[in-house]
């Protein structure tokens, strides 16, 4: 089952329990890390869609399906809907460029939820399979994570691990022939660690899972990571990207080449901040870097069309897709290992990085 973005997480509880304060704290903390968070206020009561006599109300009475009010600093949508599924559809599309939607309220809906519990009270949602955590002073629910109200960092860590990271997986492409080196460059060692392991260590901390895309899976079995062969081999990196998206359990995939070990977490974070809502999020300096980029499964049809026509340039995807280009001055981090000189240079750089981290 593909996990779509953005997910909706409800923050529920009794009136006056502190829901609004918690939502505000979560938004502030996650936004400081670069995540885009949308907020929705849910009310269980029926309200007039708009005030009687206003222009928007007159538009609807005339037969408009919905109406909107656009002002200098906000947009208000008035969309009549009685079905919960229709309301959720509207949220996920309106906030398509967000990592997560927080909904304050909605205790009876079917979305996963965190309940804020006042001291001395019992959770209203105890026994609800969608209750995934509780927040309250001294509150304990067996089998459910419990957090103190003022421990925003731990609450946000729980949300990040459960609801944000699972929205994206990673694929490390290990399909090069390494003909100029005469051996598999992914398995060359630097400081006792193979090149591909340097890459895997960097990307794995940001995603729900990692796969290696390779047509020689036997060479990577010792790593204990799932390997997948190209579905449509012979098309260069396009084959790897197509395979990664086709078998992905997530809507978005971070695609990275196995031979660019100078990539660091600092180079991955800008991609992760900006990928929601776009088909491709990619770096560009003098040229594009398609093998350190985030692709959406919406690219699959365009990829297959190129492959069908024998066109294997990744840049040919751009005209038909929504592409977010991130400018970067540092092109050294994308340096790949193709020659002995490349290997020696990168080995020196990584050795210095390891020494600095230990110091």
Structure token pair of residue 125: 């949602």
**How high is the pLDDT of residue 1?**
46
Q: Are 257 and 178 in contact (CB under 8 A)?
A: no
What CATH number labels 166-358?
Answer: 3.90.550.10
* Chain centroid, CA 140 distance in Å: 31
Q: For residues 210 and 254, what is the distance between their CA atoms, to the nearest angstrom? A: 9
Q: For residues 89 and 286, what is the distance between their CA atoms, to the nearest angstrom? A: 40
The closest of 81, 143, 151, 113 to 7, measured between CA atoms, is 113
Residue 205, CA atoms < 13 Å, CB-side half-sphere: 11
pTM, to two decimals? 0.88
Instruction: Going residue by residue through the chain, which has 359 residues, state the pLDDT in tens, using 9 for 90 and above.
Output: 455 668 899 999 999 999 999 999 999 999 999 999 999 988 777 666 667 888 888 888 888 888 888 999 888 888 877 788 888 888 888 899 999 999 998 888 778 999 999 999 999 999 999 999 999 998 899 999 999 999 999 999 999 999 999 899 999 999 766 666 668 889 999 888 999 999 999 999 999 899 999 999 999 999 999 999 999 999 999 999 999 999 999 999 999 999 999 999 999 999 999 999 999 999 999 999 999 999 999 999 999 999 999 999 999 999 999 999 999 998 999 999 888 999 999 999 888 776 666 54
**Range 89-93, long-range pairs (CB < 8 A, 24+ positions):** 91/8, 91/38, 91/40, 92/4, 92/6, 92/8
Q: Are 349 and 262 in contact (CB under 8 A)?
A: yes
Which whole-number Å values give the CA distances from 87 to 40, 52, 93, in the listed order? 11, 23, 10
> Can you spell out the DSSP letters for 88-133?
HHHHHHHTTT-SEEEEE--TTSSS-EEEE--TTPPPTTTT-TTEEE
**How high is the pLDDT of residue 122?**
92
Number of H helices, E strands in the chain: 9, 17
Q: Which residues contact 249 (CB under 8 A, 6 or more apart)?
A: 1, 2, 3, 169, 208, 209
Structure token pair of residue 233: 């081999």
**What residue spans define the domains of the chain?**
7-48+77-150, 166-358
**How high is the pLDDT of residue 3?**
57
CATH architecture of 7-48+77-150: 3-Layer(aba) Sandwich (3.40)
| Share in percent of the chain as helix, strand, coil (round to 5) | 35, 20, 40
Q: Are 96 and 90 in contact (CB under 8 A)?
A: no
């Amino acid at each position: 089952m593909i996990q779509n973005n953005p997910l909706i997480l409800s923050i529920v509880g009794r009136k006056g329990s502190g829901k609004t304060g918690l939502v505000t704290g979560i938004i502030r903390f996650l936004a400081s890390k670069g995540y885009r968070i949308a907020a929705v206020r849910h009310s269980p009561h029926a309200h007039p869609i708009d005030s009687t006599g206003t222009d928007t109300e007159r538009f609807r009475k005339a037969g408009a399906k919905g109406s909107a009010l656009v002002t200098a600093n906000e947009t208000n949508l008035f969309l009549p809907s009685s079905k919960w599924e229709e309301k959720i559809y509207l949220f996920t599309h309106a906030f398509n460029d967000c990592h997560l939607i927080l909904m304050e309220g909605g205790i009876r809906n079917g979305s996963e939820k965190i309940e804020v519990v006042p001291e001395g009270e019992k959770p209203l949602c105890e026994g609800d399979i969608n209750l995934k955590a509780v927040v309250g002073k001294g509150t304990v629910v067996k089998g459910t994570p419990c957090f103190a109200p003022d421990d925003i960092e731990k609450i946000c860590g729980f949300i990040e691990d459960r609801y944000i990271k699972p929205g994206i997986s990673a694929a490390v492409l290990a399909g090069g022939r390494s003909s100029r080196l005469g051996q598999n460059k992914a398995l060359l060692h630097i400081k006792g660690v193979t090149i591909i392991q340097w890459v895997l260590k960097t990307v794995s901390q940001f995603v729900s899972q990692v796969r290696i895309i390779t047509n020689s899976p036997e060479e990577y079995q010792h790593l204990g990571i799932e390997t997948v062969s190209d579905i449509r081999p012979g098309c260069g990196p396009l084959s790897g990207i197509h395979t990664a998206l086709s078998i992905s359990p997530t809507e978005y995939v971070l695609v990275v080449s196995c031979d660019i070990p100078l990539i660091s977490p600092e180079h991955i974070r800008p991609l992760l901040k900006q990928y929601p809502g776009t088909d491709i999020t990619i770096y560009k300096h003098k040229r594009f870097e398609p093998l350190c980029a985030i692709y959406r499964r919406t690219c699959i049809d365009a990829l297959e069309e190129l492959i069908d026509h024998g066109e294997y340039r990744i840049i040919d995807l751009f005209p038909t897709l929504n592409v977010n280009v991130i400018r970067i001055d540092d092109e050294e981090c994308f340096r790949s290992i193709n020659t002995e000189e490349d290997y020696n240079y990168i080995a020196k750089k990584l050795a210095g990085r390891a020494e600095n981290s230990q110091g």
